[in-house]
Structure 1
Amino acid sequence: MNSDISINVLYIDDEVYNLNAFKASFRMKFNIFTGESAEQGMKILEKENIHVIIADQRMPGMTGIEFLESVIPDYPDPIRILLTGYEDITAVIDAINRGEVYKYIRKPWNDDNLRINIEKAFEIYSLRKENKELIESLLIVNKQLQFLLRQNLL
């Protein structure tokens, strides 16, 4: 992993203790942004270039799955991780299907395991971004080639 690149991680959880523990564990490795609600999370997404979004499943007002699903139309690129202290197979299936979740991680998290999953999520983010840029470049070259071919045929 390239240590020159800063990974921007947004963590949403209604429990302040969890937010503080997350910051304390990962602030030296990643740029951490936290919110106590889906609304705070959306405000952060509007201002920051977030690479990885982590959301707690059980929050008042909006579940983690609902939050992750709601950000897809406006912020499709960040890789999404669902973090929860409850084992609910329906939530896992919903997370994968509706929220396009990369990983489902149980609380309490293991710091090393969560760090590795954040780094892997960022690798996926980077590869997707690189693929989009390559496709855009290929489309431009394709248009240029088509133009040149038409010119030679006239």
Structure 2
Amino acid sequence: MTANILYVDDEPHNLSAFAATFRRMYKVFTAESAEDGRKILDTEDIQVIITDQRMPKTTGVEFLASILEKYPEPIRMILTGYTDIDAVIDAINKGQVYRYIQKPWMEEDLRINIDKAIEIYTLRKENRELTEKLLIANQQLEFIARQNLLS
């Protein structure tokens, strides 16, 4: 399965560079704003979201925090050229960010982080599915136990 990656950045050349670099490894979706990013999330099954922190209308942290309830599953990363410790703390606390990566990004480092994020996404999904199966099996066992007690 090829992973779907959403990259949100207000700078078109960053979006182009990202798409050109990673299009052979992943299915890349790009958006120039948080609003455009939300539209993609509404129509595509995204596993990893990477967003620039400093954008005109909405910061990356604000964007990630705003989609958390509706889209809790994707793994989140912030990509930025600024080192603002408050933004890092906000990213972790409010946006549930997996990684905070500095621009300019190194292709190999970013690819490794994306691959790790995909692995975490996959493991979480498998965990959710196994938990659901266990709950169903437990309910069935409880039903059988009640039936045996009644007979």
Which TM-score band (shorter chain)?
over 0.9
1:46-85 matched pairs, under 5 angstroms: 46-85=42-81
1:104 and 2:133 are equivalent in the alignment: no
Q: Letter of the aligned partner of 2:43 in structure 1?
A: K
1:86 equivalenced with 2:82 (yes/no): yes
Pick the aligned partner of 2:9 from 1, 6, 13: 13
- Match of residue 146 from structure 1: 142
Query: Which of 41, 44, 48 is equivalent to 1:45?
Result: 41
| Aligned partner of residue 62 in structure 1, secondary structure | coil
CA positional deviation for 1:51 = 0.2
CA distance in structure 1 between the partners assigned to 2:118 and 2:67 by the alignment: 17
1:117 aligned partner: 113
* 1:28 CA drift (Å): 0.6
Q: Could you tell me the TM-score, scaled by structure 1's length? A: 0.97
User: Aligned match of 1:128 in 110, 124, 127?
Assistant: 124
Q: Give SS of 1:127's match.
A: helix
Counterpart amino acid of residue 69 in structure 1:
A
The letter of the residue matching 2:133 is S
Residue 43 of structure 1: how far off its partner (Å): 0.2
- Return the offset for 1:101: 0.1
Cα distance in 1, alignment partners of residues 83 and 118 from structure 2: 25
Moved over 3 A (4+): none
1:45 CA drift (Å): 0.2
Q: Which residue of 1 aligns with 2:22?
A: 26
* Amino acid paired to 1:37: S
> Following TM superposition, by how much is the alpha carbon of 1:61 offset from its aligned partner in structure 2, in angstroms?
0.7
| 1:16-65 CA-partner distances (Å, limit 9, x unpaired) | 01000001110111100000000000000000000000000000110000
Percent identity of the aligned residues? 63
How far 1:14 moved relative to its partner? 0.1
Structure 2, gaps ≥5 residues long: none
Between Structure 1 and Structure 2, how many residues are aligned? 150
- CA-based RMSD: 0.4
Normalised by the size of structure 2, how large is the TM-score? 0.99
